[in-house]
Amino acid sequence: MEVIYVVFQVILALTSLLLTLMILLHKGRGGGLSDMFGGGVTSNLGSSGVAERNLNRITVIVALVWVSSIVAIGLFVRFDVI
């Protein structure tokens, strides 16, 4: 069981790095907090290319794997399997 725990830790580390890189690859769409208060105007919010949509899908998949590995590690720790 200890091997599975280590595998989940490695998956968590890899997906953490991948998720950070995927988020940084996304195109910025606005001025951040200033948009909330009417400071910026964005014209192409709805339009995104195929690459951007694929990047969104991959980011969501990596995020789901990341969350799943956190839950699995939490279950290992909670039930003292390690």
Tens digits of residue pLDDT in 16-60: 999 999 999 987 776 555 556 665 555 555 556 888 899 999 999
Query: Is 22 within 8 Å of 61 (Cβ atoms)?
Result: no
Q: pTM to 2 decimals?
A: 0.75
Place of tokens 């899908």: 57
Residues 50 and 25: their CA atoms lie apart, in Å, by 14
In this prediction, residue 80 carries a pLDDT of 85
